Structure 1
Amino acid sequence: MSKKQLIMDKSLELFAQNGFESTSVQQITDYCGISKGAFYLSFKSKDELIIALIDHFMSQLTEEIDYMVRETESAQLLYKFYQSIFSGFKAHSSFAKLLMKEQTQSLNKELIAKFRYYEQLIDQIILSMVERLYGEEIEETKYDLVYSIKGLMNSYSSLFIFYNISLDVEILCESLVEKTNLLAKYTTLPIITKEFANVFKEATQQDITSDKIAQLIDQSIVEVNEPLEKESLTILKQQLLIPNYSPAIVSGMLENIRNHPQCKWIAFLLREFYNL
């Protein structure tokens, strides 16, 4: 295990106990058994460490949900969506609990911006899902439906994250599918409008730029050892600089890298960038 990974793993335990604000760099270094100098070789500050932890958890969750939504047949899509959400939260319950608390308590503008960034990406995934499932019949209410689905996700997640209530995930997902279908069918007075939703969509799109993706690709090319993934990353970097390949070829390259732990997030960002 690298020193950077050690710091991330150990600090997460402290953050889960004490919260972000109440945990100091000194406490982290003591808990890790390293010097402050060793800490600052890996992270410039505690905030950079926190951002790295949020990115690590949320990028995995976002990419997995996005891929599942794209690849699952419509008949099982809504059930699989809720199953992915709750399975992800249960598998990382300590960090999920920490994130849900910090989103309501943090005054750090950078952390708030990071939370909103991932929230907006997930909004877009949910929107694409409900458009695919319900089509024109929810055209006037689809943004409100997205907001309602997020409310169901957060409310029911809190039952086993904060209260340790044992829930049958299968029954929970079936119940939420039923509730979502009822909302889609009978809602006629939306609160969240298209104009309201587009404000957040535009903010997210500004963050997904070719330059930022190219920087991530450069980092991964150095770190990845597998020939197929490394070659695919190189081609995708070239495509960002000088577009020459068809969408089918780009999709094939993305499929080559999406299962590699260090490439999943790049695959997601490129799918969003190219609208594939």
Structure 2
Amino acid sequence: MVKKQLIMEKALELFAKQGFEATSVQQITDQCGISKGAFYLSFKSKDELIIALIDQFMEQIFTDIDHVVRTKKDKNNLLFEYYYVSFQSFKQHTDFANILMKEYNQSLNEKLILKLHYFDKLINTTILSMIERIYGKKVEHTKYDLLYCIKGFTRMYSELFLYQKLPLDIDLLCQSLVEKTNLLAKGMSLPFLKAEHMELSLFQLQGEVTKEQIVLLIEEKAKEIEDSIEKESLLLLKEQVIDQTYSRAIIKGLLENIRNYPHCKWVAYLLERYFKL
């Protein structure tokens, strides 16, 4: 295992048991069996490590959701798929989600909070595109309220994974939420949220990621991955960003090679946007 990945995995185990503040760099290095010097070659500080973990956590959840919304052809089943992937992703990362919920107000500095807000805005954009695709002009005046309802359902019911020890029927949960959402979409007539307010507060993001930034990100990720088909695919995709010579079909195939690899999901998302796939 690459050292940076090892540090992140062992740190996550300690954070889950002790929390962010109670876990020291010394404890992390002891758990990894490495020196403090080796730690600081990968991360400048514990805060930088926490940011990397939040990035990984949010990137994996967002990219799973975004991929379903963009690629699901049957819009009649799209809402169910959205809820299902959301809860499955949340379930897979319950330990880290639990830490964030417990320590959000205590440990996270401004930079970390801005990270969470950035991903929240990305999710807003994805959910809104799903709403417009499913309901069209029927919810033109209430779509922002519906967006908040869908996010609220996801957050509220996600607490079941944190606080309930009993096994949950995710299929039934998603069917129930689809029914509730459809009723709201059909029945809402008095919007509270207005378009002129929402465009700025919910969706304003920084500029597009540049070609140079994508190349640098690919190079960083390639260093973190041991020799594998994912690493080879990443390097080939880097060549295509610099000078595209492959067909779209080949690029799609290379993206599929990396898309489900946890440490490459965000790169895959950026590349899909870059190549307009």
2:237 aligned partner, one-letter code: S
Correspondence list, 1:49-64, <5 A: 49-64=49-64
Match of 1:110 in 2: 111
Task: Provide runs of 4+ in structure 1 moved above 6 Å.
Answer: none
1:274 shift after superposition: 6.1
Shift of 1:229: 4.7
SS at match of 2:55: helix
How far apart, CA to CA, are the structure 1 residues paired with 2:240 and 2:4?
29
Kept in 2, the 8 Å contact 1:258–1:264? The answer is: no
Does 1:238 find its partner at 2:238? no
Equivalent residue, structure 2, for 1:22: 22
Partner residue of 1:131? Answer: 132
| The 10-residue stretch of structure 1 (89-98 or 147-156) with the greater mean CA deviation from structure 2 | 89-98
- TM-score when normalising by structure 2: 0.86
Question: Is 1:206–2:204 an aligned residue pair?
Answer: no
| Paired AA for residue 159 in structure 2 | S
Match of 2:149? 148
Supply the distance in 2 between the matched residues of 1:70 and 1:33 (Cα, whole angstroms): 42
> Aligned partners of 1:127, 1:255: CA distance in 2, in Å?
28
Q: 1:33 to 1:46 in 2, by over 3 A?
A: same
Q: Is the 8 A contact 1:106 1:112 kept in 2?
A: no
CA shift, 1:254, in A, is 4.1
Q: Provide closer, same or farther for how the CA distance between residues 231 and 158 of structure 1 changes in structure 2, counting only shifts above 3 A.
A: same
What is the letter of the counterpart of residue 97 of structure 1? N
Matched letter for residue 50 of structure 2: I
Cα deviation for residue 14 of structure 1 reads: 1.3
Q: Give, in angstroms, the shift of residue 200 of structure 1.
A: 4.3
- The superposition leaves residues 146-196 of structure 1 with CA deviations (integer Å, 9 ceiling, x where unpaired) of 111111001001012133343211110000000111111111222332233
Q: Does the CA contact (< 8 Å) of 1:74 and 1:133 recur in 2?
A: yes
| Corresponding residue for residue 68 of structure 2 | 68
Unpaired runs of 5+ residues, structure 2, are: none
TM-score normalised according to structure 1 size: 0.86
Partner of 1:95: 96
Between the two proteins, what is the percent identity of the paired residues?
A: 49
Stretches of structure 1 that go unaligned for 5 or more consecutive residues are none
CA shift in 2, pair 1:219/1:115, >3 Å:
same
Q: Distance in 2 between matches of 1:91 and 1:107?
A: 22
Shift of 1:218: 3.4
- Alpha-carbon deviations, 1:27-63, whole Å to 9, x = none? 2223323221121111111111111111222212211
Confirm or deny that 1:257 pairs with 2:255.
Answer: yes
CA distance in 2, matches of 1:234, 1:272: 16
Say whether the 8 Å CA contact 2:64–2:89 is kept in structure 1: no
Change (3 A) 1:266 1:107: closer
Q: CA RMSD in A?
A: 2.5
**CA, structure 1 residues 232+274, in 2 after alignment: closer, same or farther (shift >3 Å)?**
closer
Which residue identity does 1:213 align to in structure 2? I
Contact 1:83 / 1:173 at 8 angstroms: preserved in 2?
A: yes
Q: Secondary structure at the match of 1:99?
A: helix
For the residue of structure 2 that corresponds to 1:4, the secondary structure is helix
Moved more, 10-19 or 25-34: 25-34
Q: Report the count of equivalent residues.
A: 269
Query: Could you say what secondary structure the match of 2:115 adopts?
Result: helix
**Higher relative contact order, structure no. (Cα contacts within 8 Å, ≥ 6 residues apart):** 2
